[in-house]
Structure formats: structure tokens, C-alpha cells
Amino acid sequence: DTGVSQDPRHKITKRGQNVTFRCDPISEHNRLYWYRQTLGQGPEFLTYFQNEAQLEKSRLLSDRFSAERPKGSFSTLEIQRTEQGDSAMYLCASSLQGVPSYNEQFFGPGTRLTVL
């Protein structure tokens, strides 16, 4: 039984560079969420997919951010022209929508991004 995996675990980049993160959800899960967690704060919702459709985006997701989930399996989160304020832990979670309706989400280990 494999859980949610994320790659890379750590990424250091220079301001202005583009970065891409990958998330592999639990195989039978049809929903995939991205959250961002800054130091000393709880995770904040960025976006989520049901299968390959992106159903909701937070206002935190500026136009420099884009997420995809081709074929409804793994997902990528890309940040273009990174800024120092993008430094955070990026968490991915997956769930099986439907029964039970409370939508228990399982989290990956996160990707820690540091923008210099």
C-alpha cells in the first residue's frame, strides 16, 4: 500500500527561475489537492482536481502558478518566475470522492521550496 508521494522533497532555486513539482496520489483516489504551508502557519488551499478536471482555484494561486493533472493520475505544480515569497512547503493530498462523503484526505511528505 503506497501513500501519496511527492518529488522532489527539497528544491532550492534562484529568484526568477521556474520550478515544477510532482505529486503521485494513492492510485484509486480521484481527487487531488495542492496546499501551501509557510513557516508557523497551517496549510492553505491552492487548488484541487477531480480526475483531470481542475475544479477550484484559490485566490492565492497567482497567474505565475499552474497545475495540471493529465489523465487524472499524477499532478504537477509549476511556479514561473519564482519570488522569495514563494518559499514554502508545498503539500499534496488525495482522496476518494463519494463515500464516505467527508472526503478524508491523505497527505504526501511535501516539497520544501527555498527561493534565494
Contact residues toward other proteins (CB under 8 A) are 4, 31, 33, 35, 40-45, 48, 56, 58, 91, 93, 97, 100-110, 112
Closest CB 73 distance from other proteins, rounded Å: 19
> Which set of grid coordinates corresponds to residue 108?
504526501
Residue 45 or residue 80: which is nearer to other proteins going by CB? 45
Closest CB 93 distance from other proteins, rounded Å: 8
Residue 4 or residue 115: which is nearer to other proteins going by CB? 4
Closest CB 59 distance from other proteins, rounded Å: 13
Closest Cα partner for 31 from 112, 113, 111, 101?
Answer: 101
Residue 28 or residue 102: which is nearer to other proteins going by CB? 102
Q: Are 77 and 69 in contact (CB under 8 A)?
A: no
Instruction: Tell me the torsion sign for CA atoms 107, 1, 48, 11.
Output: positive
Which runs of E-coded beta strand occur in the chain? 5-7, 10-13, 19-24, 31-37, 44-50, 53-57, 65-68, 75-79, 88-95, 106-107, 111-115
Closest CB 37 distance from other proteins, rounded Å: 9
Residue 74 or residue 107: which is nearer to other proteins going by CB? 107
